[in-house]
Amino acid sequence: MGKDEKIDFVIPWVDGNDPEWQAEKAKYDPSAVMNDSNTSVRYRDWDNLQYWFRGVENYAPWVNKIYFITWGHLPKWLNVNHQKLVIVNHRDYIPQKYLPTFSSHTIELNMHRIKGLSEHFVYFNDDMFIINKITPDDCFKKGKPCDTYGLNCVYFGHDSAGHFNGSNLEIINTEFKNKHEIIMKNFGKWFNIKNGARVVFKTMILYPWQWFPGFHYNHLPSSFTKSTFNEVWEKYYEILDKTCSDRFRTESNVNQWVMKYWQLCKSECVVRSDKIGECYHIKEENFDALCQTLKKQSRKLVCINDTPRTLNFDEKKQIVKECFDLILPKKSSFEL
């Protein structure tokens, strides 16, 4: 990235314990909600958002602005007057006809409308953290997003994102009909060992299929351009409009991953190392590995993804906070 190119971070946050938010949510019929969309797991608080801001300040001080998306509530400890922090309410950027919304898809698919947002931005979920030094080139190179090129099969299972991915692929396979030509023209990207040996192997196995069967997704922060969002909205307005018109997540929705896949199919990304980060869907068998990754800072990025299989929640929450305190013990300037 050039010195004059700005990179912003975008992160949405919901306080699921806010009684006003709960009352607003209860006004609307949740009958169309997917099984996983209304569970306590999606909203229970790990009390670790402060470490996200500490990670940014310590390991990505070059960020231009942080756009903090909220329904209206804010963490009590947040320094809302920080010069790099911009508080964004849903009504500030989401078209009125889609409000109120309780769907992450609507919140994400309209990010490009945020006033002042730079062309280049990195999107974080609130369970994705920076735990070691990252540079602008880890996110964008020569104006192009950094990402992993890889094919995979869509998994349709209980509490999975398979239905959303299926809808995403409807757009992708409609727009990009010549899969083989796309991959062969960019052979050095799709079969680059930096993607990871397992990812490259899957891509080789799935290459013969005529259509895109799915894409590798490592559940880490995603680098986007606003231009991609504008292009997809322009070409597939009806599909995105239908998704955003649902107040809750439903099985027919697309999600923001379609923007990622679009960038890959257009070869608008630069390959980044698969070693940059690790996602832990927290289960008993991988919790120790998560703790070691945090303590040793063996990755630059980490996702700590809550699941129904996360047992002894209060105990694990405390252990994760203790791990964070070992590497990020001091308050950031984003904290009061």
> What global pTM score does this model have?
0.94
Q: What is the structure's pLDDT at 15?
A: 87
Parallel, antiparallel, or unpaired: how do β-strands 144-147 and 85-89 relate? unpaired
What pLDDT tens digit does each residue of the chain (336 aa) get?
Answer: 555 689 999 999 998 888 888 888 888 865 544 444 445 556 677 889 999 999 999 999 999 999 999 999 999 999 999 999 999 999 999 999 999 999 999 999 999 999 999 999 999 999 999 999 999 999 999 999 999 999 999 888 777 777 898 899 999 999 999 999 999 999 999 999 999 999 999 999 999 999 999 999 889 999 999 999 999 999 999 999 999 999 999 889 999 999 999 999 999 999 999 999 999 988 888 899 999 999 999 999 999 988 777 788 889 899 999 999 999 999 999 999
Please name each of the domains of the chain with its CATH number. 7-327 (3.90.550.10)
Q: Give the CA dihedral 197, 198, 203, 205, nearest 10 degrees.
A: 110
DSSP string, 268-314: --EE--GGGEEEEE--GGGHHHHHHHHHHT-SSEEEEE--TT--SHH
Q: What is the structure's pLDDT at 18?
A: 84
